[in-house]
Amino acid sequence: MGGGHGHDSYRPSGHHYFKEVWSPSGGWWCDPKGWRRNTAIAVGLFMAANYFIFSYSSTHERRYLAPKGWVPSMLYVKKYPDPPAEPSS
């Protein structure tokens, strides 16, 4: 009871554990060097890839039929057919 006489009550006797743990993610208390820079680089690459994918997609989008209603891609896609004129009766 509380005297610190070599009795470790939080683990069984003979149980061995490492003071330091190596893992690919960095162990228990991960604080890798340069994590802010690495995160900024990863976010920048992700955004650049999304920009190029979006640009490619918007330049290669084809509409062979006019949409029945408003579609958000009408704001930036130049190659869609005009809807047929309403017949006046």
Q: Residue 51 sits in which domain range?
A: 35-75
Q: What per-residue confidence (pLDDT) applies to 6?
A: 56
CA angle at residue 49 from 48 to 52, to 5 degrees?
85
pLDDT at residue 15, rounded to an integer: 63
pTM for the full model? 0.53
* Predicted pLDDT of residue 50: 98
Angle 61-65-66 (CA atoms, 0-180°, nearest 5)?
Answer: 90
Within a domain: residue 80? no
9 domain residue, yes or no = no
Q: Give SS3 for 10.
A: coil
pLDDT in tens, 20-64: 666 766 666 666 788 899 999 999 999 999 999 999 988 888 777
Q: How many domains does the chain have?
A: 1
* Alpha helix (H) residue ranges in 1-89: 35-60
Non-local CB neighbours of 65 within 8 Å, separated by 6+ positions: 81
